[in-house]
Amino acid sequence: MRKELFGIKAPAKECSDKKCPFHGELNVKKEFFTGKVIKKDINHSATIEWFRSTYLHKYERYALERSRLRVHNPACINAEIGQEVLAAKTRPLSKTKHHVIIQIKNTEIKTSAPVVESAETKREQKKESQTEQKEASKSSRKKQTE
Ligand SMILES: [Zn+2]
Protein backbone atom coordinates (compact mmCIF):
# COMPACT_ATOMS: atom_id res chain seq x y z
CA MET A 1 0.00 0.00 0.00
CA ARG A 2 1.24 3.46 -0.94
CA LYS A 3 0.65 6.36 1.41
CA GLU A 4 1.62 9.01 -1.13
CA LEU A 5 1.74 9.33 -4.91
CA PHE A 6 3.49 12.37 -6.48
CA GLY A 7 2.76 14.26 -3.27
CA ILE A 8 -0.94 13.29 -3.31
CA LYS A 9 -2.07 11.59 -0.08
CA ALA A 10 -4.01 8.31 -0.24
CA PRO A 11 -7.78 8.63 0.40
CA ALA A 12 -8.97 7.86 3.94
CA LYS A 13 -11.26 5.08 2.71
CA GLU A 14 -9.57 1.74 1.94
CA CYS A 15 -10.50 -0.57 -0.91
CA SER A 16 -9.67 -4.04 -2.22
CA ASP A 17 -9.41 -2.95 -5.86
CA LYS A 18 -6.46 -4.55 -7.68
CA LYS A 19 -6.39 -1.62 -10.10
CA CYS A 20 -6.16 1.01 -7.34
CA PRO A 21 -2.91 3.02 -7.40
CA PHE A 22 -2.92 3.37 -3.59
CA HIS A 23 -4.24 0.02 -2.25
CA GLY A 24 -3.60 -2.26 -5.24
CA GLU A 25 -0.53 -3.05 -7.29
CA LEU A 26 -0.82 -0.48 -10.05
CA ASN A 27 2.11 1.62 -11.20
CA VAL A 28 1.30 5.16 -12.28
CA LYS A 29 3.24 7.16 -14.87
CA LYS A 30 4.03 10.84 -14.70
CA GLU A 31 1.49 11.99 -17.28
CA PHE A 32 -1.57 13.83 -15.97
CA PHE A 33 -4.92 15.08 -17.24
CA THR A 34 -7.41 17.18 -15.32
CA GLY A 35 -11.04 17.00 -16.33
CA LYS A 36 -14.62 16.89 -15.20
CA VAL A 37 -16.49 13.59 -14.74
CA ILE A 38 -19.38 13.51 -17.23
CA LYS A 39 -20.28 9.83 -17.14
CA LYS A 40 -20.05 7.21 -14.39
CA ASP A 41 -20.53 3.51 -15.07
CA ILE A 42 -20.68 0.40 -12.92
CA ASN A 43 -17.43 -1.61 -12.73
CA HIS A 44 -15.35 1.42 -11.66
CA SER A 45 -15.29 3.26 -14.97
CA ALA A 46 -15.83 6.93 -15.73
CA THR A 47 -15.49 9.40 -18.59
CA ILE A 48 -13.78 12.74 -18.07
CA GLU A 49 -13.94 15.78 -20.33
CA TRP A 50 -12.00 19.04 -20.62
CA PHE A 51 -12.01 22.05 -22.91
CA ARG A 52 -9.17 24.14 -24.32
CA SER A 53 -9.09 26.97 -26.83
CA THR A 54 -6.80 26.94 -29.86
CA TYR A 55 -5.99 29.97 -31.98
CA LEU A 56 -7.03 29.81 -35.65
CA HIS A 57 -4.67 32.03 -37.61
CA LYS A 58 -6.90 32.26 -40.72
CA TYR A 59 -9.96 33.52 -38.83
CA GLU A 60 -8.01 35.46 -36.15
CA ARG A 61 -10.09 34.03 -33.29
CA TYR A 62 -10.23 31.10 -30.89
CA ALA A 63 -11.99 27.77 -31.31
CA LEU A 64 -13.10 25.66 -28.34
CA GLU A 65 -11.82 22.07 -28.55
CA ARG A 66 -13.12 19.19 -26.46
CA SER A 67 -11.23 16.13 -25.25
CA ARG A 68 -12.72 13.04 -23.63
CA LEU A 69 -10.98 10.18 -21.86
CA ARG A 70 -12.13 6.88 -20.37
CA VAL A 71 -10.62 6.42 -16.90
CA HIS A 72 -10.62 3.93 -14.05
CA ASN A 73 -12.51 5.14 -10.96
CA PRO A 74 -11.22 3.23 -7.87
CA ALA A 75 -13.71 2.37 -5.12
CA CYS A 76 -11.82 4.40 -2.49
CA ILE A 77 -11.97 7.60 -4.59
CA ASN A 78 -15.43 7.05 -6.17
CA ALA A 79 -15.66 10.35 -8.07
CA GLU A 80 -19.18 11.59 -8.78
CA ILE A 81 -20.53 13.25 -11.94
CA GLY A 82 -19.55 16.93 -12.08
CA GLN A 83 -16.42 16.64 -9.96
CA GLU A 84 -13.05 17.94 -11.16
CA VAL A 85 -10.50 15.09 -11.06
CA LEU A 86 -6.84 14.41 -11.76
CA ALA A 87 -6.10 11.32 -13.86
CA ALA A 88 -2.71 9.71 -14.47
CA LYS A 89 -1.45 7.34 -17.15
CA THR A 90 -1.05 3.64 -16.32
CA ARG A 91 -0.69 0.33 -18.11
CA PRO A 92 -3.70 -0.66 -20.27
CA LEU A 93 -6.46 -1.58 -17.80
CA SER A 94 -9.02 -2.65 -20.42
CA LYS A 95 -9.79 -2.15 -24.11
CA THR A 96 -10.46 1.59 -23.68
CA LYS A 97 -8.93 2.48 -20.29
CA HIS A 98 -5.26 3.45 -19.88
CA HIS A 99 -5.68 6.05 -17.12
CA VAL A 100 -6.75 6.11 -13.47
CA ILE A 101 -8.22 8.82 -11.24
CA ILE A 102 -5.78 9.63 -8.43
CA GLN A 103 -7.34 12.75 -6.88
CA ILE A 104 -10.57 14.72 -6.63
CA LYS A 105 -9.65 18.37 -7.13
CA ASN A 106 -13.02 20.02 -6.59
CA THR A 107 -15.51 18.60 -4.08
CA GLU A 108 -18.39 20.70 -5.45
CA ILE A 109 -20.81 18.78 -7.67
CA LYS A 110 -21.91 20.73 -10.74
CA THR A 111 -24.64 19.27 -12.92
CA SER A 112 -24.17 21.13 -16.21
CA ALA A 113 -21.15 22.42 -18.14
CA PRO A 114 -20.04 25.99 -17.24
CA VAL A 115 -19.55 26.95 -20.92
CA VAL A 116 -23.18 26.21 -21.77
CA GLU A 117 -24.39 27.89 -18.58
CA SER A 118 -22.59 31.15 -19.30
CA ALA A 119 -23.93 31.26 -22.88
CA GLU A 120 -27.50 30.69 -21.67
CA THR A 121 -27.25 33.36 -18.96
CA LYS A 122 -25.86 35.83 -21.52
CA ARG A 123 -28.81 35.15 -23.82
CA GLU A 124 -31.28 35.63 -20.96
CA GLN A 125 -29.60 38.89 -19.98
CA LYS A 126 -29.79 40.08 -23.60
CA LYS A 127 -33.51 39.22 -23.77
CA GLU A 128 -34.15 41.09 -20.53
CA SER A 129 -32.29 44.14 -21.74
CA GLN A 130 -34.17 44.05 -25.06
CA THR A 131 -37.56 43.87 -23.32
CA GLU A 132 -36.54 46.72 -21.03
CA GLN A 133 -35.58 48.82 -24.04
CA LYS A 134 -38.90 48.04 -25.72
CA GLU A 135 -40.82 49.07 -22.63
CA ALA A 136 -38.76 52.21 -22.36
CA SER A 137 -39.46 53.10 -26.00
CA LYS A 138 -43.20 52.44 -25.49
CA SER A 139 -43.33 54.71 -22.47
CA SER A 140 -41.45 57.44 -24.35
CA ARG A 141 -43.92 57.14 -27.26
CA LYS A 142 -46.85 57.45 -24.83
CA LYS A 143 -45.29 60.57 -23.42
CA GLN A 144 -44.93 62.00 -26.95
CA THR A 145 -48.61 61.26 -27.74
CA GLU A 146 -49.72 62.88 -24.48
ZN1 LIG B 1 -8.01 2.22 -3.08
pLDDT tens readout for residues 39-59: 998 888 999 999 999 999 999
> What pLDDT score does 145 carry?
57
Query: What is the distance in A from the centroid of ligand 1 to the CA of 2?
Result: 10
Ion ligand 1, residues whose Cβ is below 5 A away: 15, 20, 22-23, 74, 76
Query: What is the distance in A from the centroid of ligand 1 to the CA of 42?
Result: 16
| Domain residue spans of the chain | 4-110, 112-146
Q: Comparing C-alpha atoms, which of 48, 83, 79 is closest to residue 66? A: 48
Among the residue ranges 20-29, 94-103, 131-140, the one predicted with the least confidence is 131-140
Please, what CATH class does the domain formed by 4-110 belong to?
A: mainly beta
CA atoms within 13 A on the CB side of 48: 27
| Of 33 and 108, the one with more pLDDT | 33
Query: What is the distance in A from the centroid of ligand 1 to the CA of 76?
Result: 4
Query: What is the distance in A from the centroid of ligand 1 to the CA of 66?
Result: 29
Query: What is the distance in A from the centroid of ligand 1 to the CA of 117?
Result: 34
Which of 54-68, 76-90, 105-119 shows the highest mean pLDDT? 54-68
Which of 39-43, 65-69, 79-83, 113-117 shows the highest mean pLDDT? 65-69
- State whether residue 143 is helix, strand or coil: helix
| Of 38 and 15, the one with more pLDDT | 38
* pLDDT of 127 over the 80 cut: no
